[in-house]
């Protein structure tokens, strides 16, 4: 896609300092602009967000924004999404790509918790993803929709080996690992959607998001891992469903 090409041959005499003050200031300004874009885009959506408003909120002239993001607000959106996906990738790797012998159940719980927590404390980011990601991912511009597909694949690529392992070791039933990975991501995504759509009075400072994400993770993992059907034999006999539980495998 388009990335602002920061010239990476630092024109300094002393190479010990990685970047000049100039460059650091430039990065700071860039972040200020992204911050403003994030607020405006979350509120209005990419289309109704105007560069004029972003520029005004960032306290820069419109022309200056173009100095930093030659492709305008769309480039800003992708810069924001880049960071989100990079964070999600890190969260996923932290939970699943470690060598330690942690049961899948515990990994999943920790993962879901971090994932939920990440977006719960940055709801505007999730709103942006919800509003724009699908619109672009299902849009007719090949290169843009590939961007989302490849980011999703990256996450699945981290999850899948862990799922395969858990299946190989017998901790999980043998399902298609890729589908399971997508289902896990889909459920986290779905829960966040539910959480945001409720939008209870915008979560006052009293709301404990950590508690909520722990609770939600427990709920999701309970169902995903153990199912919602009550498998106590008595019940199944009572309802004449004795054999039904077997058909999963």
Partner DNA sequence: CCCAAAACTGACTGAATCGTCACTTTGTGA
Partner DNA sequence: TCACAAAGTGACGATTCAGTCAGTTTTGGG
Sites of contact with a second copy (CB under 8 A): 43-45, 47, 103, 105, 127, 130-132, 134-135, 137-140, 149, 152, 169-173, 175-176, 179-180, 182-183, 186-187, 189-191, 193-194, 196-197, 218-220, 222-232, 235, 238-239, 241, 244-245, 247-248
Write phi, then psi, for 206 (nearest 5 degrees). -75, -25
Q: How far is CA 20 from the centre of its chain?
A: 32
Residue 122 touches DNA, criterion: CB under 7 A: no
Q: Which of 180, 126, 128, 121 is nearest to 155 (CA)?
A: 180
Are residues 163 and 177 in contact, defined by beta-carbon separation less than 8 angstroms? Answer: yes
Is residue 61 near DNA by the rule CB under 7 A? yes
SS3 24: helix
140 binds, among a second copy, DNA, none (CB under 5 to 8 A by kind): a second copy
Asked whether the beta carbons of 225 and 105 are under 8 A apart, the reply is yes
At closest approach, how far in Å is the CB of 10 from a second copy? Answer: 41
144 binds, among DNA, a second copy, none (CB under 5 to 8 A by kind): none
Q: Using alpha carbons only, what angle is made at residue 118 by residues 117 and 123, rounded to the nearest 5 degrees?
A: 95
Nearest residue (CB) to DNA, 68 versus 191: 68
Rank residues 5 and 249 by Cβ distance to a second copy and give the closer one.
249
E strands of 35-126, at which residues? none
238 binds, among a second copy, DNA, none (CB under 5 to 8 A by kind): a second copy
- Compute the CA torsion angle 4, 5, 6, 8 (nearest 10 deg): 160
Q: Say which entry of a second copy, DNA, none residue 208 contacts (CB below 5 to 8 A, set by partner kind).
A: none
Nearest residue to 132 via CA among 208, 1, 240, 43? 43
Q: Per-residue contact track with DNA, 139 to 178, x per CB under 7 A?
A: ----------------------------------------
Binding site for DNA (CB under 7 A): 21-22, 26, 29, 48-52, 59-64, 66-68, 70-73
């Amino acid at each position: 896609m388009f990335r602002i090409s920061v010239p990476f041959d630092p024109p300094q005499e002393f190479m010990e300092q990685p970047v000049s003050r100039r460059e650091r200031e430039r990065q700071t300004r860039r972040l200020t602009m992204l911050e403003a874009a994030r607020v405006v885009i979350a509120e209005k959506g990419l289309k109704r967000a105007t560069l004029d408003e972003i520029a005004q909120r960032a306290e820069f002239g419109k022309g200056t924004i173009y100095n930093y993001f030659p492709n305008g607000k769309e480039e800003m959106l992708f810069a924001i999404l880049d960071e989100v996906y990079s964070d999600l990738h890190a969260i996923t790797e932290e939970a699943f790509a470690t060598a330690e012998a942690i049961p899948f159940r515990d990994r999943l719980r920790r993962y879901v918790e971090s994932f939920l927590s990440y977006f719960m404390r940055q709801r505007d980011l999730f709103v942006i993803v919800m509003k724009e990601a699908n619109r672009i991912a299902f849009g007719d511009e090949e290169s843009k929709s590939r961007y989302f597909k490849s980011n999703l694949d990256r996450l699945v690529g981290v999850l899948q080996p862990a799922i395969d392992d858990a299946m190989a070791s017998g901790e999980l039933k043998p399902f298609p690992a890729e589908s399971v990975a997508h289902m896990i991501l889909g459920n986290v995504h779905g829960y966040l959607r539910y959480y945001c759509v409720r939008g209870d009075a915008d979560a006052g400072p009293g709301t404990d998001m950590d508690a909520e994400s722990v609770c939600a993770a427990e709920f999701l993992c309970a169902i995903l891992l153990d199912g919602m059907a009550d498998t106590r034999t008595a019940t199944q006999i009572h309802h004449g469903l004795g054999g039904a539980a077997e058909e999963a495998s």
